[in-house]
Amino acid sequence: MDIAVFLVCVFAKNKWNQKGKKHANFLCIFDQKEEMNLFIENKTFLVCGAASGFGRAIAEALIAEGARVIVSARREAELKKIAALAPDRVQIVVADLFKEADQDRLLEKIDLSQLSGVVINAGGPPAKSFLETEMEDWDNAYVGLVKWKVRLTKKILPALIKNKYGRLVFVESKSVKQPVENLVLSNSMRLAVVGFVKTLSQEVANKGICMNIMAPGYHDTPAMDRIFAKKASVLNISIEQAKSSIESELAMGKLGNPKDFAQLALFLLSPASNFLNGQTISVEGGLIKGIFG
């Protein structure tokens, strides 16, 4: 990881020496080559929704840091491409994690006692305005954005508590802070995840568990295609015009790079984030206009 990403040194512990003088030990996360060391090499992480987008970027970043990575998604061919980056450190589990049976099969295949962190991530529901939705859309959005995450967390958390250590990173959306037009399903359901994570983070903080949410804005991922298409349809413009219109809304004038997004995920998954808990962190290039965005 490039040193420019995080200029941080983590205070590890304070203790008093025999003379009664305060002595500080610092766990410096930079090595002599001026590269960040997040102490995740050979640690094991589970990345859900790893076939594309943010999940894939995070999985590849973990691999680059020398971590052991369990990648799960429905598309086996894409998971195999990730595994080819480090065949000895990547385990593939093809699964539809919206289904409880697939979650159970996933957990049967991995050693939970070795798990250091989990990235809970999946795609979003269709782009629709409220009047375009049916009740079935709301039921599906609940399953796809809330229910499976609660269920998987409930199944994994006891092992992390037993280990007295764990990092959970939920990938949601900047829509939890500033709604996105024509994404009423995502805007609504993801707020439930924020409430869930914030509450649970208070319950497990003293057990060595840190839970945080990453709230991305517009990044260059496949998920943006549905947003471009919806905007083009509503405004009767081309896909390219819709993309240009969205980019013009961004303070930086461009879509974010998932690889940059993944660098923050690495930090949140590492021991370096040991005093960061229950937070929803915006990663949107200044798109959110609110002071507390």
Mean pLDDT of 105-117: 97
| Same domain flag for 186 and 53 | yes
* pLDDT tens by residue, 185-231: 999 999 999 999 999 999 999 999 999 999 998 998 888 888 888 88
What is the percent of the chain where pLDDT is above 90? 71
d(C-alpha 219, C-alpha 221), whole Å: 6
The angle at the Cα of 274, spanning 48 to 264, to the nearest 5 degrees, equals: 50
Please name which of 150, 127, 140 lies closest in space to residue 232, comparing C-alpha atoms. 127
Tens digits of residue pLDDT in 159-168: 999 999 999 9
Do 104 and 79 lie in one domain? The reply is yes
What per-residue confidence (pLDDT) applies to 287? 85
User: Number of folded domains in the chain?
Assistant: 2
Within a domain: 291:
no
Residue 14 above 90 pLDDT?
Answer: no
Residue 95, SS3 per DSSP: coil
- Amino acid identity of residue 277, one-letter, is N
Note whether residue 288 is domain-resident.
Answer: no
Q: Is residue 204 part of a domain?
A: yes
- Cβ-proximal residues to 142 (8 Å cutoff; 6+ apart), any chain: 189
Q: Which two tokens stand for residue 288?
A: 């959110």
Other beta carbons within 10 Å of 5: 13
Same domain? 32 vs 45: no
30 and 168 part of one domain: no
Find residue 23's DSSP bridge partners: 15
Label residue 103 by pLDDT band (50, 70, 90).
very high
E-assigned strand segments in the chain: 10-16, 22-27, 44-48, 68-73, 90-94, 115-120, 166-171, 209-216, 280-283
Residue 231's domain is classified under what CATH number?
Answer: 3.40.50.720
Residue 146 has pLDDT above 50, yes or no: yes
pLDDT tens across 45-99, in order?
999 999 999 999 999 999 999 999 999 999 999 999 999 999 999 999 999 999 9
- Owner of token pair 């947003």: 227
290: in domain: no
> Does 18 share its domain with 125?
no
Strand partners, 216: 283
Is residue 94 located within the same domain as residue 216?
A: yes
Identify whether 241 is part of a domain.
Answer: yes
* Percentage of the residues of the chain whose pLDDT score is greater than 70: 88
Is residue 142 within 8 Å of 189, Cβ to Cβ? Answer: yes
Residues pairing with 118 in the sheet: 46, 168
Exposure of 145 in the CB half-sphere (CA atoms within 13 A): 25
Q: Look at residue 13 in the predicted model and tell me its pLDDT.
A: 34
Residue 181 resides in a domain: yes
pTM of the model as a whole: 0.85
12/155 same-domain check: no
Q: Please indicate, yes or no, whether residues 55 and 25 belong to a single structural domain of this protein.
A: no
Asked whether residue 278 falls in the same domain as residue 186, the answer is yes
Q: Which residues of 73-86 are buried (b: 16+ CB within 10 A; e: fewer)?
A: beeeebbeebbeeb
- CB neighbour burial string for 179-188, b if at least 16 within 10 angstroms, e if fewer: ebebbbbbbb
Please provide the size of the chain in residues. Answer: 293
User: What is the C-alpha radius of gyration for the chain, rounded to an integer number of angstroms?
Assistant: 20
Q: Are residues 114 and 20 in the same domain?
A: no
* Residue 288, CB-side half-sphere exposure with 13 Å CA sphere: 18
Residue 292, in any domain of the structure = no
Domain span at 11:
1-37
Task: Looking at the structure, tell me whether residues 21 and 94 fall in a common domain.
Answer: no
Angle, CA of 286, 168 and 96, to the nearest 5°? 100
Q: Which pLDDT value is given to residue 162?
A: 98
Q: What is the DSSP letter of 116?
A: E
The tokens for 115 are 């798990």
Residue 85 near residue 110, CB atoms below 8 Å: no
For residues 209 and 162, is the Cβ–Cβ distance under 8 A? no
Residue 202 belongs to a domain = yes
DSSP β-ladder status, 22-27 and 10-16? antiparallel
Residues 1 and 65 in one domain: no
Q: Where are the beta strands (DSSP E) in 79-189?
A: 90-94, 115-120, 166-171
